[in-house]
Structure 1
Amino acid sequence: MNPTPEIPPSDGCNAGGDSPRHVVILGIGNVLWADEGFGVRCVERIQQEWEFGPEVEIIDGGTQGLYLIHHVQGADALLIFDAIDWGYEPGTLMVARDGEVPAYMGAKKMSLHQTGFQEVLALAQFTGKFPEKVALVGCQPEQLEDYGGSLRPSIKAVLPEAIERGLALLRDWGVAMRPRTTPLSEQEAVTLPHLRMDRYEAERPSEEDACRTGDSRFMPARA
């Protein structure tokens, strides 16, 4: 198992008290680019396996960037899952809390087309509408340059631990949860049916049928 460094909580983070009125569990990333989909796969599995009260909102943030600002502004507590390049061994997990989160989310933008979530947090702070509690569960990716690819085995292997770390944070905040007993409908699911990980992997075309490094129509011809 890879080492899993954790940033110590800031003052008051674990102080207990009343549970947040509105909790947002947010997965960030692009499932089409291998390990960049880590955050989305975390929230997908959390929703499949756990039930929460109406105060909890689970969101597939994808690569929406600034379009996520209203979710941040409206949250009392925000839990983020994301793949971030800290330069550690692939599969290494990191937990950051409160004031540490923006700095760690700015380590490296995973996509040039995506507004860094660090900027989203900064804008929320600027507007004066920022969650009282913020935490990030991040993972060091192994492979990003695999268009249409899924999580690498090293990343998939740490999903359960990453999710448990996130659930521990939610419990620390006083959020009630229980193992899912009510079947999850396709309409409720945070990911579209054809992007659900099991189906996505099963229906993935071969390398001969689909380019794995981008859109072949726009790639330079090989000599």
Structure 2
Amino acid sequence: MKVLVLGIGNVMFSDEGVGVHFNEMIKRNYKFTHEINSLEFVDGGTLAIALTPIIAEFDYLIVVDCISADESSIGDVYFFDYEAMPNQISWDGSAHEVEMLQTLQLMDLAGDMPKTKILGVVPKRIEPMSFELSSEIQASVKVMEKTLLKHLEELGFSYEKISNLNIIDLANEYKNKGI
């Protein structure tokens, strides 16, 4: 089985970039192994619909992105099957060009969508443009990390911690690059 962890978000809009930063943090902090299955981490940025040929190559997809949820607080973390999305969850109001939800819906209609899980976090909407992550998102990263690592273990992956970068280190890398 080919597994893809796909980080989605716009790093120039603060918490909106958490999916990209989180994905990179996990990729650089851990080494994953499995006897037969493969695991890849991809920075999907705001590409959405352009990601369809990449996503279609995989058997299993974990999307890491910002979400909205009724009666939620900033930093709340949700993990669910795409096919069983809770009613209070939506992917609206983000800074993405085309929403990831619409991309998945189109792939589902075309019959090209792998089994999909969503690891979502409720962002703080910050204006104007900023590379900084809110304290709420910084705190939620620990829950997201435990959730993803536990799920990858359930899929049969072993892991070893090889670095200790935090999400702020990675957000600052983008800031220092002057994107």
TM-score under structure 1 length normalisation: 0.68
Gaps of 5+ in 2: 164-168
**Could you say which residue in structure 1 is the equivalent of 2:101?**
118
Quote the offset at 1:99 in angstroms: 0.5
Quick check: 1:36–1:141 contact (8 Å CA) kept in 2? Answer: yes
**Could you say which residue in structure 1 is the equivalent of 2:154?**
172
Quick check: 1:38–1:83 contact (8 Å CA) kept in 2? Answer: yes
1:30 is the counterpart of 2:10: yes
Match for 2:84 among 100, 117, 132? 100
Quick check: 2:4–2:60 contact (8 Å CA) kept in 1? Answer: yes
Among the aligned pairs, what percent are the same residue? 25
1:8-157 matched pairs, under 5 angstroms: 21-53=1-33, 55-87=38-70, 88-101=72-85, 106-111=90-95, 114-131=97-114, 133-157=115-139
More helix as a share of residues: 2
1:194-209 matched pairs, under 5 angstroms: 196-200=170-174, 203=176
**Could you say which residue in structure 2 is the equivalent of 1:216?**
none
Quick check: 1:24–1:71 contact (8 Å CA) kept in 2? Answer: no
Quick check: 1:26–1:78 contact (8 Å CA) kept in 2? Answer: yes
Quick check: 1:102–1:118 contact (8 Å CA) kept in 2? Answer: no
Quote the offset at 1:125 in angstroms: 1.4
Quote the offset at 1:102 in angstroms: 9.3
Q: Report the count of equivalent residues.
A: 170
Looking at CA atoms only, which structure, 1 or 2, has the larger radius of gyration? Answer: 1
Q: Distance between the aligned counterparts of 2:160 and 2:137, measured in 1?
A: 25
Q: Which has the higher contact order (CA 8 A, sep 6+)?
A: 2
Quick check: 2:91–2:99 contact (8 Å CA) kept in 1? Answer: no
What's the RMSD between the two structures over aligned residues? 2.7
Quick check: 1:143–1:152 contact (8 Å CA) kept in 2? Answer: no
1:185-200 matched pairs, under 5 angstroms: 196-200=170-174
Change (3 A) 1:121 1:200: closer
More strand as a share of residues: 2
